[in-house]
Amino acid sequence: MKTHDGVPLGSWVRRFLLEHLVVERNLSRNTQRSYRDTLRLLIPFAADRHRTAVDRLVVTEVSADVVRGFLRHVEERRGCGVRTRNQRLAAIHALATFVGERCRELIPWCGEVRAVPFKRYDRPSLCYLDKPEIDALLAAPDRTTEQGRRDHGVLLFLYNTGARASEAAAVSIRDLDVRSDGSGSVRLVGKGGKTRHCPLWPTTMTSLLALTSGRSPDEPVFRNRRRMPVTRFVVHATVTRYVTDAAIVCPSLAKKTISPHVIRHTTATQLLRAGVDINTIRAWLDHASIDTTNV
């Protein structure tokens, strides 16, 4: 009779990816892909170490020593940084926990794998934009053109809401709620499918209404030249492109690496400076823990 530690790893991986991450934990698509990609790298590495086929690999063959070797491979051969190395290890820890909780015979294996430590590193200081810098960025697009008006709307939306790039890309016209005074709010879908409503300034609503006038509620607010929804990569590229132009007016921008997440930091910082309660900011930005907001 086959013991639990002789069961092929593949059966556990399938349950972990399809049942645990999706159904039980409802993790975001990006997190699911990150965990999947880690296992796509780990399993062939472990199979090569044991000189066996990937479909014949058993759980205990992915030992703590193999995991350490894999992490060295990630850093030295693949050229990844410590943060990526730690992300890969977090996925492996999650798989070990999943297996250990469901199979008592594999608890010792789980403990050994989870004992592989994360590597410490110096976290970069939190970057955000001061008021003159964000003003210069917002003024950079040429609003006499259709693309310029869209890009200005993207930048203003990110600054107003503190939305993630993926959240901004996914906003549809039906998610906008316009009030009689010209202001409004937007429904955002964050990590794990959680929804929240963020208030919108009258200037933001004016910009978005001009972009969406005469269009169906099912259409995306921000779309490309082919009238398809923009992707989070387009949102990121939009920010990067206009930083170069804005740096001519505001040279301090050239010294910073600007991304949609930096604009998110800017929103949080300026809300805090305006006296907004930290718990309100946490809800505004969809942070799972207030410790993240405190950073």
pLDDT values of the chain reduced to their tens digit, one per residue, 295 residues: 344 446 789 999 999 999 999 888 888 788 899 999 999 999 999 999 999 999 999 999 999 999 999 999 999 999 999 999 999 999 999 999 999 999 999 999 999 999 999 999 876 667 889 999 999 999 999 999 999 999 999 999 999 999 999 999 999 999 999 888 878 999 999 877 789 999 999 999 999 999 999 999 999 999 998 889 999 999 999 999 999 999 999 999 998 989 999 999 999 888 888 888 888 888 778 776 676 677 6
Q: Answer yes or no: do 168 and 89 share one domain.
A: no
Task: Identify the pLDDT of residue 295.
Answer: 63
Answer yes or no: 149 catalytic. Answer: no
Q: Answer yes or no: do 175 and 107 share one domain.
A: no
Task: Identify the pLDDT of residue 85.
Answer: 96
Tell me which residue range forms the domain holding 193.
131-294
Cβ(66)–Cβ(18) below 8 Å: no
Q: Is residue 100 part of a domain?
A: yes
Task: Identify the pLDDT of residue 282.
Answer: 85
> Mapping DSSP to helix (H, G, I), strand (E, B) and coil, where does residue 195 land?
strand
Could you give the angle at which helices 107-114 and 82-102 cross, rounded to 10 degrees? 160
Q: Answer yes or no: do 154 and 267 share one domain.
A: yes
Rounded to whole angstroms, how far apart are CA atoms 276 and 25? 31
Q: Answer yes or no: do 185 and 261 share one domain.
A: yes
Could you give the angle at which helices 146-161 and 232-249 cross, rounded to 10 degrees? 100
Active-site entry in 88, 152, 164, 282: 164
Rounded to whole angstroms, how far apart are CA atoms 36 and 266? 32
Q: Answer yes or no: do 141 and 53 share one domain.
A: no
Rounded to whole angstroms, how far apart are CA atoms 293 and 180? 32
Active-site entry in 20, 85, 150, 264: 264
| Domains contained in the chain, number | 2
Q: Phi and psi dihedrals of 215, rounded to 5?
A: -105, 160
Active-site entry in 191, 223, 232, 287: 191
Answer yes or no: 191 catalytic. Answer: yes
Answer yes or no: 152 catalytic. Answer: no
Answer yes or no: 264 catalytic. Answer: yes
Smallest Cα–Cα separation from 163: which of 123, 124, 193, 198?
198
Q: Answer yes or no: do 107 and 173 share one domain.
A: no
Rounded to whole angstroms, how far apart are CA atoms 222 and 229? 6
Strand order in the sheet with 176-178: 176-178, 184-189, 195-200
Active-site entry in 36, 232, 256, 261: 261
Q: Which residues contact 20 (CB under 8 A, 6 or more apart)?
A: 98
Distance of CA 59 to the CA centre of its chain: 30
Q: Is residue 121 part of a domain?
A: no
Q: Is residue 246 part of a domain?
A: yes
Task: Identify the pLDDT of residue 2.
Answer: 41
Task: Identify the pLDDT of residue 60.
Answer: 94
Q: Answer yes or no: do 51 and 140 share one domain.
A: no
Q: Is residue 119 part of a domain?
A: no
